[in-house]
Amino acid sequence: MSDYYELVVAGIGGVGPNSTKINFTKTDDGVRLWAWMPNEDVTKQVMVGKDKNDDPIFRNQIRAGVTLSVEEVVALGNVQTQYMKDNVPTDLAVPTQQLILSGKVLVTQPTLKPMAKLEVVTA
């Protein structure tokens, strides 16, 4: 999928009546990318594994750790570095950039691997 843009979901932002704000990992220059996606695409349930009783575990299709391979990504406007608070420009802790996603989107779930037991060693 070399013609697709890879975006890793960092977390879910606000949820509106029709869309959910998806926050992606920061770019190399520290900008937090984000986009709106339809609620039904975000909340679709997918099986992500099984529990210790061999029962299926379901999660929202789009959540932190998921990779989206998107056919077309367009930046909307400029990188935002400030917002207005009480009519005073205030710096954002992390600059943001809104994206518009279009075309096909391939959702890749994170791989669930068993973790090694934590061993604490005193020096």
At 109, is the pLDDT very low, low, confident or very high (cuts 50, 70, 90)? confident
CB 74 within 8 A of CB 54: no
Q: Which residues does 116 contact at the CB level (< 8 Å), separation at least 6?
A: none
At 58 the pLDDT is 85
Q: Which two tokens stand for residue 90?
A: 């205030």
Give strand pairing partners of 69: 6, 106
Please say if the pLDDT value at position 1 is more than 60.
Answer: no
Q: 């949820």: which residue's tokens?
A: 15
Q: Which two tokens stand for residue 75?
A: 């930046």
How far from chain centre, in Å, is Cα 82? 22
* This prediction's pTM: 0.80
Mean pLDDT, all residues of the chain: 90
At 18, is the pLDDT very low, low, confident or very high (cuts 50, 70, 90)? very high
Please say if the pLDDT value at position 2 is more than 70.
Answer: no
